Amino acid sequence: MTESIALLTIFVLAAFVGVEVISKVSSTLHTPLMSGANAIHGVILVGAIIVTGQAESTLVVIVGLLAVVLATVNMVGGFVVTDRMLEMFKGPAARKKELHK
Amino acid sequence: MIPTWAQIGYLIAAVCFIVALKALSSPKSARTGNLLGAAGAVLAVIITFVAYKPDHLAPILIALAIGTVGGVVGSRRVQMTQMPQLVALFNGVGGGAAALVALMELGELSTDAVVPAIASAFTILVGAISFSGSIVTFAKLQELMTTRPVTFPGLPVLFVASMLGGLVLAGFLVNEPRVWVGVLLCLVGLAVGVMLVLPVGGADVPIVISLLNAFTGLTVAAGGYVLNNTLLLVAGTLVGAAGTLLTKMMADAMGRSVFNILFGAVKGGSTLGGGTASDRPVISGGAEDVAILLGYANKVIIVPGYGLAVAQAQHTLRDLVEELQSRGVKVDYAIHPVAGRMPGHMNVLLAEAQVPYDQLREMDEINGDFKTTDVVLVVGANDVVNPAARNTPSAPIYGMPILNADEAQRVIFLKRSMRPGFAGIENELLYDPRTTLLFGDARDSLTKLLGALKTL
C-alpha cells in the first residue's frame, strides 16, 4: 500500500509542476508547445519495450511490436516536427539578439 | 526489480522533460528545450534496454527503426500548413500505443490488484478515445471529410450509452482482469472517440487536438502506474496537466468554453450557416484598382489567413509589403491568435517566409489601430474578421474576439471564391460598400498586385 501512496504522491506533485511550468506562455508558442508536449508522451515507448520484452505468446509479441512502432512514431516524429517549427523562429530571435547588442 | 542506477537515470530523464516544457514556453529557449526533451527520451529508452534486458531484442530494435524512419520522414516531408493534422496523428498513435500496452499487461495482473486494474481500464478506454478521436481530427483537417459539425438525432443518447457501457466494462475488468473484456473496452473507446469529435466544427478542431493530447498524457501516466514505472507516471502527468491548461488557454483565446466546443453542436442551435456561396452582390475589382488603393494609402494593415499559406504566398506577400514600405506606406501584419489552423500557426508560417518578427502584431495590440488605417488587406482569411462574432448571437463563432477590420476606411479581400470560411458562416463584411474583392489564387493575385504596384 505504501508504494501506491508513493505513486499517488508523485502523480499529484507532477500535476502541479505541469501546470506551473507552462503558466506563462504567449499564444505565439501554443502550437510548438502542444507539439513538444505531444512528443514527451511518446515516452510510452518505454512501457511498450518493457511489456514486449516480457511477452511469451507470439500474439502478444506482435501486438507489442505494433505498440513499439506507434510509440516511436509519436516520440521521434514529435520531437523532429517541433524542432522544424522552432527552427522557423530562429531567424527573428537571432535578429532580435543583434538589435540588443 | 529495477536497479537503483536505472531509477536515477529515469529521474534525470523526468527532470529533462520538466525543464523542456519550461523552456518551450519562451521563444528564446524553446529550441534548446525541445532538444533537451529529446535527449531525455533517448536516455530513457537506453536505460530501459540495459535495465530490463528485454527478450525479442532483434524484433524490438527493428520495430524501433521502422517507427523512427516513419516519424522522421513524416515530419520532414510535411508542409508547414499541414502541421496541425500531423500533430493530431502523432498524438493518436501515442494514445493507441498506450492502450495496447495496458491491454497486454492485463494478462499479468493479479485478481486482487484493484488500483492497477482501474488504471489499466482507464488507459485502455482513454487511449482508444484519444486514438480514434485524433484520427477523425486528422481527417477533418486534411479535409478528407467535411469540416462542418456532424451530428445525427440519436448521437447524444448513443454517446452517453457508450460511456456507461465503457464504465460497466471497466467495472468487470477491475473485478477480474480478462483480456477479451479489455478488447471490448478498447472497441467502446474507439466508438466514443469518434462520437466525441464528429460534432466539433472545423475551426474548433485545434482545441480538440490539445484536449486529446492531454488525454494521451493522462493515459501514459496511468500506464506508468500499471507498470510501476515512475518515469511514465511523471512524464504522462506533466503532459496531462500542461495539456489541460493549454487547452483552456487556447479556448480562452477564441472566447469559447471547452464544454461548448465539444457539446455545442449536439445541444443544437449553433450549427447555423449555409456552407454554400450566396449570390448577393459584391464589389470586385482588378489588380490595378487594388494596387492604387494600396499604393496611395498612408497606413495599411495586412490580415493573413490560412488561404495565404495554402497558396504558398507568404514570400510574395513579403515582397509586396517591402514594395509598399519603399513607397513610404506604413505596413503592419495583424495576427489573430488562431490565424491559420492552430494558435500560433500563422507566426510559424510567416517566420518561415522571413517576415521580421517586429512587424507581426498581436490582436490586442493592434485592434485600436484599425480606426486610423486607410486600407486593410485580408489575404485568405475570413472568420477572424467576421463581425458576426460580435453581432450575431446565433453564429457558431459568436463571442470569439476578432480583428476590427470593419473599422478601417477600406477593406480588400483576396479570395478564391465566395465560399464561406472554415467555420462555415457568411461574412457580412464582404457585402459592405467599403469592401473590394479581388478574386483568384492568393499567390497569383499578390503577384499581379506587385506588378501593378511597380508600374504606378
Task: Return the higher-pLDDT residue of B149 and A32.
Answer: A32
Mean pLDDT for the stretch of residues B150-173: 90
| pLDDT on residue A93 | 46
> Annotated active-site positions of B, please?
383
Angle (CA) B141 B147 B151, round 5°: 130
Q: Which of residues 347-366 of B touch A (CB under 8 A)?
A: 347-348, 351-352, 354, 356-357, 362
Local confidence band at B362 (pLDDT 50, 70, 90 cut-offs): confident
Final residue before a domain boundary, out of B77, B97, B123 = B77
* Rounded alpha-carbon distances, angstroms, from residue B47 to A17, A49, B34, B54, B141: 24, 11, 20, 11, 37
Residues of chain A neighbouring B133 (CB-CB closer than 8 A): none
| pLDDT on residue B282 | 84
B244 and B135, same structural domain?
yes
CB contact under 8 A, B48 and A90: no
In total, the C-beta contacts within 8 angstroms joining chain A to chain B are: 367
Q: Tens digits of per-residue pLDDT, B4-54?
A: 999 999 999 999 999 999 999 888 889 999 999 999 999 999 999 999 999
Query: Within 10 A of A80 (CB to CB), how many other CB atoms are there?
Result: 20
Residues of chain A neighbouring B83 (CB-CB closer than 8 A): 31, 35, 81, 85
Size (chain B), residues: 456
Cell 497486454 sits at which residue? B104
CB contact under 8 A, A35 and B83: yes
B248 and B237, same structural domain?
yes
Does a structural domain hold residue A61? yes
Residues of chain B neighbouring A24 (CB-CB closer than 8 A): 25
Which pTM value belongs to this model? 0.82
Q: How far apart are CA B456 and CA B451, in angstroms?
A: 9
Domains: count for chain B: 3
B173 and B248, same structural domain?
yes
- B433, exposed or middle or buried, with CB in 10 Å at 0-12, 13-18, 19+? exposed
Does a structural domain hold residue A8? no
CB contact under 8 A, B66 and A69: yes
B314 and B396, same structural domain?
yes
Task: Check: CB of residue A74 under 8 Å from CB of residue A41.
Answer: yes
Nearest CA in chain B to A36: B34
In the predicted structure, residue B267 carries a pLDDT above the cut 60:
no
B228 and B103, same structural domain?
yes
In the predicted structure, residue B361 carries a pLDDT above the cut 60:
yes
Measured between CB atoms, which of A4, A29, A46 is closest to B232?
A: A46
Task: State the smallest CA–CA distance between residue A101 and chain B in angstroms.
Answer: 15
CB contact under 8 A, A22 and B344: no
CB contact under 8 A, B342 and A11: no
CB contact under 8 A, A22 and B246: yes
Measured between CB atoms, which of A19, A69, A93 is closest to B242?
A: A19
Mean pLDDT for the stretch of residues B305-334: 89
Task: Check: CB of residue B350 under 8 Å from CB of residue B314.
Answer: yes
Pairing relationship of beta strands B375-379 and B360-362 according to DSSP bridges: unpaired
Does a structural domain hold residue B43? yes
Pairing relationship of beta strands B299-304 and B375-379 according to DSSP bridges: parallel
Does a structural domain hold residue B281? no
Question: What average pLDDT is seen over chain A?
Answer: 85
Final residue before a domain boundary, out of B77, B101, B124 = B77
Kindly provide the b/e burial profile for residues A44-66, where b requires at least 16 CB atoms within 10 angstroms of the residue's own CB.
bbbbbbbbbbbbeeeebbebbbb
| pLDDT on residue B352 | 78
Q: How far apart are CA A84 and CA B36, in angstroms?
A: 15
Does a structural domain hold residue B278? no
Does a structural domain hold residue B282? no
What is this model's ipTM?
0.89
Could you tell me the residue range of the domain that residue B450 belongs to? 287-454
CB contact under 8 A, A7 and B225: yes
In the predicted structure, residue B3 carries a pLDDT above the cut 50:
yes
Domains: count for chain A: 1
B205 and B129, same structural domain?
yes
B438 and B346, same structural domain?
yes
B299 and B201, same structural domain?
no
Q: Tens digits of per-residue pLDDT, B384-435?
A: 898 888 888 877 777 788 899 999 999 999 988 777 666 667 788 888 889 9
B231 and B310, same structural domain?
no
B18 and B92, same structural domain?
no
SS (H, E, C) B131-186: HHHHHHHHHHHCCCCCCCCCCCCCHHHHHHHHHHHHHHHHHHHHHCCCHHHHHHHH
Residues of chain B neighbouring A3 (CB-CB closer than 8 A): 228
CB contact under 8 A, B348 and A31: yes
- Residues forming a β-bridge with B304: B379
CB contact under 8 A, B233 and A96: no
Residues of chain A neighbouring B245 (CB-CB closer than 8 A): 18-19, 22-23
Could you tell me the residue range of the domain that residue A84 belongs to? 26-100
Mean pLDDT for the stretch of residues A19-41: 87
Q: Tens digits of per-residue pLDDT, A49-66?
A: 999 999 989 999 999 999
Final residue before a domain boundary, out of B56, B77, B98 = B77
Does a structural domain hold residue A70? yes
Cβ–Cβ contact B246 with A under 8 A: yes
In the predicted structure, residue A85 carries a pLDDT above the cut 50:
yes
CB contact under 8 A, A74 and B357: no
Nearest CA in chain B to A12: B237
Angle between helices A78-100 and B30-52 (to 10 degrees): 140
Does a structural domain hold residue A78? yes
Does a structural domain hold residue A92? yes
Task: Return the higher-pLDDT residue of B285 and A9.
Answer: A9
B436 and B410, same structural domain?
yes
Residues of chain B neighbouring A89 (CB-CB closer than 8 A): 27, 30-31, 347-348, 351
Q: Tens digits of per-residue pLDDT, B107-138?
A: 887 777 788 899 999 999 999 999 999 999 99
Mean pLDDT for the stretch of residues B250-261: 77
Q: Enter the C-alpha cell of residue B48.
A: 530501459
Question: What average pLDDT is seen over chain B?
Answer: 88
Q: Which of residues 43-102 of B touch A (CB under 8 A)?
A: 44-45, 48-49, 52-57, 59-60, 63-64, 66-68, 70-72, 74-76, 78, 80, 83-84, 86-87, 90-91, 93-94, 96-98, 100-101
| pLDDT on residue B265 | 64
CB contact under 8 A, B90 and A55: no
In the predicted structure, residue B372 carries a pLDDT above the cut 90:
yes
Does a structural domain hold residue A13? no
Task: State the smallest CA–CA distance between residue B225 and chain A in angstroms.
Answer: 7
Does a structural domain hold residue A11? no
Does a structural domain hold residue B172? yes
B360 and B221, same structural domain?
no
Does a structural domain hold residue B313? yes
